[in-house]
Amino acid sequence: MSPDGRRLVVGVATPDARNTRYRTALWEVDPEGARAARQLTRSREGEAAAAFTPAGDLLFVSSRPRPDGEADDDAPGALWLQPAGGGDARVIAAPAGGVGGVVVAADGTLVAGSALLPSADGRAGDDELRKLRKEAGVSAMLHEGSPVRYWDHDLGPAQPRLLSGRRGGTELGGGQLDDGQLDDAKLGGTELELRDITGPAGGALGGESFWDISPDGRTVVASWRVPERAGSVRTILVAIDVATGARRTLADDAEHDYEFPRVSPDGRHVSCLSYRRSTADDPGDNRMALVPLAGGAVRELAAGWDRWPEGPGRWAPDGTALIVAANDRGRTPLWRIDVATEQVTRLTDDNGAYTDLWVSPDGQWVYALRGAVDSAPAPVRVAADGSRRVEHLRGPVTAPPVPGKLEEIEARAADGSVLRAWLALPAEAAGPAPLLLWIHGGPLMSWQSWSWRWNPWVAVAHGYAVLLPDPALSTGYGHDFVRRGWGDWGDAPYTDLMAITDAAVARPDIDAERTAAMGGSFGGYMANWIAGHTDRFRAIVTHASLWALDQFMMTTDTPDFWLRELTVQRLQDNSPHRSADAITTPMLVIHGDKDYRVPIGEALRLWWDLLSRSKADDGSSPHKFLYYPDENHWVLRPGNAKVWYATVLAFLAHHVRGEEWKRPELLG
């Protein structure tokens, strides 16, 4: 949202002309909901939202060519400025390491992240080192700590630093700014010189580091990764002086991680998420917290609130409250936390999941994207007064209809806990529908929003009822619900899934004899566990799944997190691979070679364990392996996504419906 509250910008992703990736364009949405949305950017490479300047100019990041340049598919993202008064966008900064995480202070100071080679002395030195590596044909990376890769990309050889677009308070690039604002005319068409304010930071700003800038432009607050013994890493908060680069610690505690800092409107405090680090006996906890920007004790807010805030919060303009989102029983409502009284007020009471929050300058509205299990994300505004009023804005796209209806069901766990799930049902069915148990990943998450990658309505459109349960370890049900499954993945999470499935198949509109189970990531782990512990399902689909826990824990990108929970004995007790001999259910294994969260070795070992137990003399097997050499933990290419759904549906049709096996056409 622009500083004056008059402009709201969202990104819309569509498949590119070659159907090989999604391209994002920026659209403007009327904050009042009166005018139709209008497209602001359009290029083959796409654009990502970055920030507004105080003058209302739009900043965005794109690798598209300059008007006088040539297209380059490998070009890093440059920072572009689109003037508020109209005119063509132009590049104002183009470091070789790309641009990300752009924040702009009320006085016009700009800070952004960019990846520089470790021994580079500023941008000029980085350019020279990159040239030397390229001419020498070097691709090697020398690591001195962990992690070495993250989700789907290598960490290195360049490492993130923070660069500032202001020097000495007045000089910004080629223009003198007497009013303290980024102004296209005053820059005179020259590029903005970004100055390195952190120097070599190692992996401190890697992963999902987040930063914000004080209103006066003098201080950046960032989450900062600090290495610990035994390969572990913790996250602290640091304050960095923009003028000098001097760094001081704001929050550092061996038992907590501090992330997602936001500076208050008056510049006096910093809000953040305070994570109490998990142990073998404790899942940890998440709290919003405050720390004075000048330094002082960390104060956790709403200690008695048994919900976990999601991502960064937003300050009310007067600094009296924080607006946050937090999972609650299959939804992600908005909440207001009063800073003085710590009272928590719920702002939404529908089935929505709210993300990407912005608060209007007058404090009356919270703008967000609202999704739900049966609703694709769309821009809305929510009344901040607690009236729970939600108004849908005129967004860039029409919401896709869903081919069915959504209900909630409940069951009792073995220990008496109340379990709940969403049940997506076909709109019209000739008889009882076959059931697909769909298990979420995480495991610290829940079914509460729309997913394009894991969309149950595709299966519903093909006549399946889809059960979306939240077993033990799911968030939104309180700390004790998470603790029920902590360190015992094969116990309560498994029995919860079976109990809620029993409740579903007891319904007259569900065919109890035609059922299947599927899941991805942790859901894939559970699918593998189910395969080795029951034969009640006719088919099982396991995507990006954990199979041999001892192997997985030592090869994933973040082993230190998982090993705080899973001791050596727990790795042994909860590993699905130990039950390979018991598997009789046909399995479809799906994995991408570029998956660094759950490395491909898990699928390769699972596949061999399945095939090596084949009893047929001709080597045939009921199992199948859908392998993506160019995908990661998620299947992101539009064409590959089509193949994913087509293969899953063909596998289910064969084993659940009894239809003849038919290889999807796109697989040759």
Residue-wise pLDDT tens digits, 384-395: 999 999 999 999
CA distance 170 to 217: 11
Q: Residue 285's pLDDT is what?
A: 96
> 274 in a domain, yes or no?
no
CATH number at residue 477: 3.40.50.1820
Whether 22 and 14 have beta carbons less than 8 Å apart is answered as yes
CA distance 509 to 434: 9
> 553 in a domain, yes or no?
yes
For the residues 88-93, what does the mean pLDDT come to? 93
Q: What are phi and psi of 610, to 5 degrees?
A: -75, -50
| Predicted model pTM | 0.94
- Taking the CA atoms of 561, 566, 571 and 575 in sequence, report the sign of the dihedral they define: negative
Q: Residue 185's pLDDT is what?
A: 43
Whether 604 and 122 have beta carbons less than 8 Å apart is answered as no
- pLDDT above 90 covers a percentage of the chain that reads 88
Q: Is the pLDDT of residue 528 over 60?
A: yes
| Nearest one of 132, 19, 12 to 376, comparing CA atoms | 12
The residue behind tokens 């572009």 is 80
CA-based angle 635:636:637, to the nearest 5? 110
Coil/strand/helix, residue 222: strand
> 341 in a domain, yes or no?
no
pLDDT tier for residue 207 given thresholds of 50, 70 and 90: confident
> 387 in a domain, yes or no?
no
For residue 406, what are its two tokens?
Answer: 């959504």
Q: Residue 169's pLDDT is what?
A: 38
> 259 in a domain, yes or no?
no
Edge-to-edge order in the sheet of strand 256-263: 256-263, 269-276, 285-292, 299-300
Q: For the purposes of burial, counting CB atoms within 10 Å of the CB of 361, is it exposed (0-12), middle (13-18) or buried (19 or more)?
A: middle
Q: Indicate the residue among 173, 202, 231 that finishes a domain.
A: 202
Structure confidence by residue, pLDDT tens digits, 649-661: 999 999 999 999 9
Structure confidence by residue, pLDDT tens digits, 625-652: 999 999 999 999 999 999 999 999 999 9
Structural domain of 408: 404-667
| Nearest one of 151, 157, 209 to 636, comparing CA atoms | 151
> 604 in a domain, yes or no?
yes
For residue 351, what are its two tokens?
Answer: 């089935």
Q: Residue 168's pLDDT is what?
A: 34
Q: Residue 182's pLDDT is what?
A: 46
Q: Indicate the residue among 162, 180, 202 that finishes a domain.
A: 202
Whether 44 and 60 have beta carbons less than 8 Å apart is answered as no
Coil/strand/helix, residue 26: strand
> 35 in a domain, yes or no?
no
Q: Is the pLDDT of residue 370 over 50?
A: yes
Mean pLDDT of the chain: 93
The residue behind tokens 């569900």 is 510
In 117-232, DSSP assigns E strands to: 149-150, 153-154, 159-164, 171-172, 175-176, 195-196, 211-213, 219-227
Q: Residue 626's pLDDT is what?
A: 98
> 471 in a domain, yes or no?
yes
Q: Is the pLDDT of residue 172 over 60?
A: no
| Number of domains present in the structure of the chain | 2
For residue 472, what are its two tokens?
Answer: 């033990």
Q: Indicate the residue among 133, 167, 202 that finishes a domain.
A: 202
Q: How far is C-alpha 404 from the geometric centre of its chain's CA atoms?
A: 27
For the residues 221-239, what does the mean pLDDT come to? 95
Q: Residue 291's pLDDT is what?
A: 98
Q: Residue 418's pLDDT is what?
A: 98
CA distance 609 to 624: 13
Structure confidence by residue, pLDDT tens digits, 259-274: 999 999 999 999 999 9
